[in-house]
């Protein structure tokens, strides 16, 4: 009997853990109420891996939901317990991922109209024109690199960098030649002055005679 006791305790503990991992019926019902009351598109709710454009749509839907909630509360038309911002975030994505990715990068995209158009799925927005490279899928890692590079996924080609260096060096050589010309002109003027002085000395010696 004593040998069976640890097994039963372990089984009961695992059962409790599995039950606690499943959202309660009241929590699920509360989320459903929020989705219906705020008019959130169902296909944008729930967490999971999605493309960048869909993630951006989720982010925008969250902002709209926050605005709608604030208006309904102000007008006195909100009928149930007021949700927190975390409650609203978790309708679309986990709270930690929202802060580490959605809020961190999508707020910076507002400065780039071409990226906004791509995220919005506008037909004239071409992948390679926006990103600088063609890929099957673009991730948040790509978006971070794109933003860090000032609107380009990859840095310039080595050939382009070398060409710019050659141009800069050429400009430097030109400046050097200009200095040489100026120095040459200066030396020429000095020689002319010396000739003038010698000529004047000859004339003064002739007069003295």
pTM, to two decimals: 0.63
119 vs 54: CA distance, rounded Å: 8
Per-residue model confidence as pLDDT tens digits over 150-207:
998 875 554 543 443 343 344 444 444 444 444 455 555 555 555 555 555 555 555 5
Per-residue model confidence as pLDDT tens for the chain (209 residues): 444 444 444 444 444 344 344 456 677 899 999 999 999 999 999 988 999 999 999 999 999 999 999 999 999 999 999 999 999 999 999 999 999 999 999 999 989 999 999 999 999 899 999 999 999 999 999 999 999 999 988 755 545 434 433 433 444 444 444 444 444 555 555 555 555 555 555 555 555 54
């Amino acid at each position: 009997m004593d040998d069976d006791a640890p097994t039963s305790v372990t089984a009961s503990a695992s059962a409790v853990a599995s039950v606690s991992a499943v959202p309660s019926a009241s929590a699920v019902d509360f989320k459903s109420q929020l989705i219906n009351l705020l008019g959130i598109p169902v296909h944008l709710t729930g967490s999971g891996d999605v493309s960048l454009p869909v993630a951006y749509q989720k982010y925008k839907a969250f902002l709209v939901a926050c605005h709608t909630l604030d208006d309904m509360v102000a007008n006195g038309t909100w009928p149930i317990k007021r949700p927190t911002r975390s409650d609203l975030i978790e309708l679309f994505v986990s709270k930690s991922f929202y802060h580490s990715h959605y809020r961190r990068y999508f707020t910076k995209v507002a400065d780039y109209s071409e990226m906004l158009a791509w995220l919005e799925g506008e037909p004239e927005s071409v992948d390679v024109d926006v990103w600088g490279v063609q890929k099957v899928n673009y991730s948040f890692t790509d978006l971070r690199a794109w933003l860090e590079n000032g609107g380009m996924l990859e840095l310039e080609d080595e050939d382009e960098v070398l060409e710019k260096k050659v141009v800069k060096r050429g400009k430097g050589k030109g400046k050097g030649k200009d200095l040489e010309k100026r120095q040459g002109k200066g030396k020429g003027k000095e020689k002319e002055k010396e000739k003038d002085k010698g000529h004047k000395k000859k004339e003064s010696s002739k007069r003295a005679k």
